[in-house]
Structure 1
Amino acid sequence: HRSGILSSKVERPYSTMMNADMDAVEAENQVELEEKTRLINQVLELQHTLEDLSARVDAVKEENLKLKSENQVLGQYIENLMSASSVFQTTDTKSKRK
C-alpha cells in the first residue's frame, strides 16, 4: 500500500520536471522563432532599401548622361557663336582673306 503512494510521489516530481523542461524548450523555441522572424523582416527591409538605392543610382546615371549630352550641345553652340563673332576673331585680317 505504501509503495503505491511512494511511487506516485516519485512520479509527480519527475512529471513536473518534464513539463517544466518541455515548457523551457517551448519558450526557447518561441524566442528562436521570434528572432528568426525579426531577422527575416530585417533582411527584407534591407533588400527593399537596396532595390530603392539601385533604382536611384540608375536614375542619377541616366540624368548624368543627359546632362553630359546637353553640355556637349551647349559647348558646340558656344564654339559656333565664338567662331562666327568678330569679337573672338584674330586681328590679323590679311591671313583670313587669303
Structure 2
Amino acid sequence: MQWTSILAIYVLFWVVSAFVLLPFGVKTPDEIGATKVPGQADSAPVNFRPGVIAVRATILSIVLTTLYVLNYAYGWIEAEDLIFWGPTVNR
C-alpha cells in the first residue's frame, strides 16, 4: 500500500472520528447552571473545546488507520468474510 493511500485513509478516519466525538464531554447551560443568552438554543454547548476533540480524533484515527493497514497486510478480515447472507463461496 502506498503512503498516499495510507494518508488518505487516515484523513477519512480523522474526519469521521471528529464528528463521532463531538457530543462527548459537552455540557449544556442547564447541566452546569449557567445563564443563557437571549435567543440561545437549549442544547448549545457551554464548554466546547475543539482542541480536545482534535487530539482525541487524532489518537482514535491513528489507532483505526493502524488496524486498517495491518488488516490489509495480513488479511485478517476479507471481503468474503463480510457476506452474511446469499450464496456461499466454496474455498
Q: TM-score, normalised by structure 2?
A: 0.30
Answer 1 or 2: which has greater helix percent.
1
Q: Which has the higher contact order (CA 8 A, sep 6+)?
A: 2
Q: TM-score, normalised by structure 1?
A: 0.29
